[in-house]
Structure 1
Amino acid sequence: MPITDGIRTTESVRERSSVADETVVVTGASSGIGRAIAETFVADGADVVICSRTRADVEAVAEELNAADRPGSVFPVECDVTDRGSVAAFADATVEEFGGVDVLVNNAGGAGSGDPLHEVGPDDWDGVVEVNLTGTYNVTRAFADALREGGGAVVNTSSMAGRYGVAGMGPYSAAKAGVSALTRTLAVEWAGDDVRVNAVEPGFIATPAVREWLGIEEMPERDPVDRTVGTPDEVADTVRFLASDAASFVTGQTLSPTGPPNTFEPPAD
Structure 2
Amino acid sequence: MKDLTTLVLGGTGDVGEGIVRSFLKHGASVIASSRTQTKLDALRDYVGDIATGTLKGAMGSLDTPEAAEALRDRIGELASRIDVIVAVLGGWSQGFPITGVGFDQWQGIVRNNLTTHFLAMKTFVPLLAPERGIYVHINGQSAEGPHPGAGPVAAMSAAQRSLATTLAEELRPSGMKVHELLMPPINTRRRINHHHDRPEWPSPEEIGDYIAHLIGTDDREVVHWIEPKKG
| Deviation (angstroms), 1:130 | 1.7
Q: What does residue 222 of structure 2 align with? A: 252
1:114-129 mapped onto 2 (5 Å cutoff): 114-129=95-110
1:236 matches 2:208: yes
Q: TM-score under structure 1 normalisation?
A: 0.78
Greater C-alpha Rg: 1
- How many residues are paired up? 230
1:135-174 mapped onto 2 (5 Å cutoff): 135-147=116-128, 149=130, 151-174=132-155
Q: Is the 8 A contact 1:102 1:153 kept in 2?
A: yes
| Deviation (angstroms), 1:63 | 4.1
**Structure 2: unaligned runs, 5 residues or longer:** none
Partners of 1:51 and 1:92 lie apart in 2 by 12
1:6-25 mapped onto 2 (5 Å cutoff): 19-25=1-7
1:60-114 deviation per Cα after TM superposition (whole angstroms, max 9, x unaligned):
202442x324221111222222232222122122223210211110101111243
Q: How large is the Cα RMSD of the aligned pairs?
A: 2.1
| Deviation (angstroms), 1:195 | 1.1
| Deviation (angstroms), 1:220 | 5.4
Aligned AA (2:220): V
Q: Is the 8 A contact 2:83 2:129 kept in 1?
A: no
Partners of 2:72 and 2:114 lie apart in 1 by 18
Partners of 1:161 and 1:249 lie apart in 2 by 24
Identity score, percent: 24
Q: TM-score under structure 2 normalisation?
A: 0.90
Q: What does residue 5 of structure 1 align with? A: none
Partners of 2:118 and 2:83 lie apart in 1 by 18
Partners of 2:46 and 2:18 lie apart in 1 by 13
Q: What does residue 12 of structure 1 align with? A: none
| Deviation (angstroms), 1:55 | 2.1
RCO (CA 8 Å, sep 6+): is it higher in 1 or 2? 2
Aligned partner (choices 66, 69, 92) of residue 111 of structure 1: 92
Aligned AA (1:245): G
